[in-house]
Amino acid sequence: MNLTLKIWRQKDAKSKGKFVIYKLDNISPNCSFLEMLDILNESLIRKNEEPVVFDHDCREGICGMCSLYINGRPHGPDDAVTACQLHMRKFKDGDTITVEPWRAKPFPVIKDLMVDRTAFDRIIQEGGYISVNTGGAMEANHILIPKPAAELSMDAAACIGCGACVAACKNASAMLFVSAKVSQFALLPQGRPEAKERVMKMVKMMDDLGFGNCTNTYACEAECPKSISRSNIARMNLEFICAKASWE
Amino acid sequence: MSASLLRFSSITKKIWMALLGIFLLIFLVVHLSINLCLLKSDPTWFNDAARFMGTNYVVKTFEVVLFAGFIFHILLGIILQVQNWMSRPVRYAVNNKSTTPFLSKYMIWTGGIVFIFLAIHLVNFWAMKLGWVGGPRFADGEPNFYQKAIDLFSIPAYSLFYIVLIIVLGFHLNHAFQAAFQTLGLNFTKYSKCIERFGMVYSIVVPLGFIIIPIYFLLIR
pLDDT digits (tens, 9 = 90+) for A39-60: 999 999 999 999 999 999 999 9
Q: What is the pLDDT of residue A198?
A: 97
Q: What is the pLDDT of residue B6?
A: 66
Q: Measured between alpha carbons, how far is A47 from A26 in angstroms, rounded to an integer?
A: 18
| Torsion angle defined by CA atoms of residues B113, B118, B124 and B128, in that order, rounded to the nearest 10 degrees | -160
Q: What is the 8-class DSSP label of residue A48? A: T
Find the helix or strand (DSSP H, E) in which A91 lies: none
How are strands ordered across the β-sheet holding A73-74?
A18-24, A3-9, A96-101, A68-70, A73-74
The one-letter amino acid at A160: I
Q: For chain B, how many structural domains are there in total? A: 1
Residue B82, domain CATH: 1.20.1300.10
Q: What global pTM score does this model have? A: 0.94
**Torsion sign across C-alpha atoms A226, A227, A229, A230:** positive
pLDDT mean over A166-180: 98
Architecture of domain A117-131+144-246: Orthogonal Bundle (1.10)
Give CA angle at B87 (A33, A221), nearest 5°: 50
Q: Say how many Å lie between the first and final Cα of chain A, rounded.
A: 63
Cα nearest neighbour of B83 on chain A: A212
Q: Do domains A3-111 and A117-131+144-246 have the same CATH topology?
A: no
User: Across the interface, do A212 and B83 touch by the CB < 8 Å criterion?
Assistant: yes
**How many CB atoms lie under 10 A from the CB of residue B43?**
17
**How many CB atoms lie under 10 A from the CB of residue B221?**
11
> What's the mean per-residue pLDDT of chain B?
91
Angle between helices A175-186 and A231-246 (to 10 degrees): 70
By Cβ distance, the residue of B88, B97, B98 closest to A172 is B88
B189 touches chain A (CB under 8 A): yes
Please state which of the four CATH numbers 3.40.50.720, 3.40.50.970, 3.10.20.30, 3.90.1150.10 is assigned to the domain occupying A3-111.
3.10.20.30
State the residue range of the domain holding B172: 2-91+101-220
pLDDT mean over A58-64: 96
Cα nearest neighbour of B107 on chain A: A215
Q: What is the pLDDT of residue B118?
A: 95
By Cβ distance, the residue of B80, B88, B97 closest to A103 is B88
Residue A180 has pLDDT above 60, yes or no: yes
**Which residues from A are below 8 Å from B107, CB to CB?**
215
Phi first, then psi: give them for residue A4, nearest 5 degrees: -115, 125
Mutate one of A217, A230, A239, A242 to test the B interface: name it (highest B CB count within 10 A): A217
User: Across the interface, do B84 and A212 touch by the CB < 8 Å criterion?
Assistant: yes
Q: How far does B190 lie from chain A, in Å, by closest CA? A: 10
**Which residues from B are below 8 Å from A172, CB to CB?**
84, 87-88
> What's the mean per-residue pLDDT of chain A?
96
Q: What is the pLDDT of residue B3?
A: 58
Q: How far does B62 lie from chain A, in Å, by closest CA? A: 26
Q: Measured between alpha carbons, how far is B171 from B100 in angstroms, rounded to an integer?
A: 15
By Cβ distance, the residue of B14, B105, B188 closest to A213 is B14
Which of the residue ranges A67-71, A210-214, B126-130 would you say has the lowest mean pLDDT?
Answer: B126-130
Strand partners, A100: A69
Q: Measured between alpha carbons, how far is B15 from B13 in angstroms, rounded to an integer?
A: 6
Residue B1 has pLDDT above 60, yes or no: no
Q: How far does B75 lie from chain A, in Å, by closest CA? A: 15
Supply the ipTM of this predicted assembly: 0.93
By Cβ distance, the residue of B13, B84, B182 closest to A216 is B182
B204 touches chain A (CB under 8 A): no
